[in-house]
């Protein structure tokens, strides 16, 4: 049984040969690298924020907010180094990496609305 959303996306993309590059290709390896980078750079701070919101840390303190803000800014910077030229994160081709990024951006938007002006906003200008 698959319960991780990115594992499910990858399985379906590979099975249906859609939203992905051919397995074994350099493009597929790069797509995986970008997808994993999104997960580490953006999903991880979002999960930590969720834990803090549910009483497993102190989001209310300025140190918690500032730390999350720094993590997201650093995450966006590391993603910026990997971006292709084109409308999508991989360049001209829409892949599962874009779906994972979209989910992370939606989560970050929710987090910003809950954190307030000193929260964790970022602006994607890629």
**Is 91 in a helix, a strand, or coil?**
strand
**102/21: higher pLDDT:** 21
> Comparing C-alpha atoms, which of 45, 59, 44 is closest to residue 115?
59
> How large is the average pLDDT for residues 112-125?
46
> How large is the average pLDDT for residues 35-55?
79
Q: How is the chain split into domains, by residue range?
A: 25-115
Who's near 90: CB < 8 A, 6+ residues apart? 21, 27, 30, 31, 34, 84, 97, 98
Four-way CATH pick for 25-115: 2.170.120.12, 3.40.50.300, 3.30.450.40, 1.20.1050.10 = 1.20.1050.10
Q: Assess whether pLDDT exceeds 60 at residue 18.
A: yes
| Residue 64 CA from chain centroid, whole number | 20
Q: Assess whether pLDDT exceeds 70 at residue 120.
A: no
Q: In angstroms, what CA-CA distances link 38 with 16, 33, 48, 73? A: 23, 9, 15, 13
Who's near 20: CB < 8 A, 6+ residues apart? 10, 13, 14, 28, 31, 95, 96
pTM, two decimals, is: 0.74
- What's the pLDDT tens digit per position in 75-118? 888 877 777 678 888 888 999 999 998 888 776 655 555 555 44
């Amino acid at each position: 049984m698959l319960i991780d959303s990115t594992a499910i996306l990858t399985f379906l993309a590979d099975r249906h040969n859609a939203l992905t590059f051919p397995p074994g290709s350099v493009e597929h390896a790069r797509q995986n690298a970008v997808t994993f980078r999104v997960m580490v750079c953006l999903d991880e701070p979002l999960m930590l924020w969720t834990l803090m919101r549910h009483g497993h840390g102190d989001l209310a303190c300025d140190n918690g907010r500032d730390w999350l803000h720094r993590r997201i800014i650093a995450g966006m910077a590391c993603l910026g180094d990997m971006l292709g030229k084109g409308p999508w994160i991989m360049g001209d081709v829409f892949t599962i990496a874009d779906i994972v990024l979209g989910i992370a951006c939606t989560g970050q938007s929710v987090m910003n609305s809950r954190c307030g002006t000193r929260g964790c906003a970022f602006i994607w200008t890629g």
